[in-house]
Copies of this chain bind each other. A is one copy, B any other.
Amino acid sequence: MAVFSALTPVFVATLCVIIAYLLKSFNRSEEKRAPGGAGPPPAARPWADEDLQDNTEISPVEDDGELADSEDDVPQVPYVSMCYTPKVMLQRSRDFYVLMNARRSVRFFSPETVPREVIENIIRTAGTAPSGAHTEPWTFVVVEDPQVKHRIREIVEEEEEINYKQRMGEQWVNDLQRLRTNWVKEYLDVAPFLILIFKQTFGLHPSGKKKTHYYNEISVSISCGILLAALQNAGLVTVTTTPLNCGPQLRQLLHRPPNEKLLMLLPVGFPAPDATVPQLNRKPLDAIMVSM
């Protein structure tokens, strides 16, 4: 408690400088962030890092124009923790691993519908992710309308046909006939739901002033990880796709504002009865974990 309240002036000071800097150079930093969505330009990184490091989930500071006062408006409350016995913790960690390890990227869907409330709970769950300065820079567009799904499919397939024809080069001319099959993304019609995840590269203060969203791409990707876990937990499947070339067209189709950029497109539903996946292995623990 003492330590935390001692941090107060830092939040205020840090955020003042961040916002002062960004009001000056927003356009430039916005451009630089766009490709990777990875925060302000190098000069400001220490602030961005500090911000994400210590102000995660301190919303009012960012939302309120009057920083000096707003921090005082964030009361501290006791953290209520789960208390499991070591035995229960171990069992829960094993069970969750088994559940998540059964997840695969599935490309063959059943047209069978999914209870809408399940989808809503999954989006709610994705919305619990941490984000830089609690900006919650995500928008989940859930598409169920067959016409809209089909238009999305047309945009994605069209864009990919262009990619192939312009980039494959003559060496692949003989494959073009067969390649055509890959332009076909049948699952975009078949899956009962398409979830398009947009990152908000910046937000707006009530005053209308732009509010930077630090590390919006990392924050939204973390949220996607929690969303994938929620889908798996509910017995649904998806395939993680990033049709970035289609971003602008899909953003317009879905009437999203210019500050939002498409990060991922997830077809969501039940697997087709005859769905297959490539047989692959994941790296063993000792290949991904180092202990010290």
Contacts and interface: CB of A to CB of B under 8 A. Distances in A.
Contact of A37 (B38, B100, B139, B239): B38
A240 B223 CA distance: 13
A204 interface: no
Nearest to A6: B181
Interface in A175-209: 175, 178-179, 181-182, 184, 186
B244 A79 contact: no
Contact of A127 (B81, B128, B254, B283): B283
A93 B279 CA distance: 28
Nearest to A290: B141
| Number of copies of this kind of chain in the complex | 2
A38 to B, nearest CB: 4
A39 to B, nearest CB: 8
Contacts of A81: 235, 237, 270-271, 275
A105 B160 CA distance: 41
A28 interface: no
Interface of A: 1, 3-4, 6-7, 9-10, 13, 17, 35-38, 42, 45-47, 49-50, 52-54, 56-60, 74-84, 86, 89-90, 92-94, 96-97, 100-108, 114-115, 117-118, 120-130, 134, 136, 138-145, 148, 160, 163, 167-169, 172, 175, 178-179, 181-182, 184, 186, 215, 217-218, 221-230, 233-237, 239-245, 254, 256, 263, 270-271, 274-283, 285, 288-292
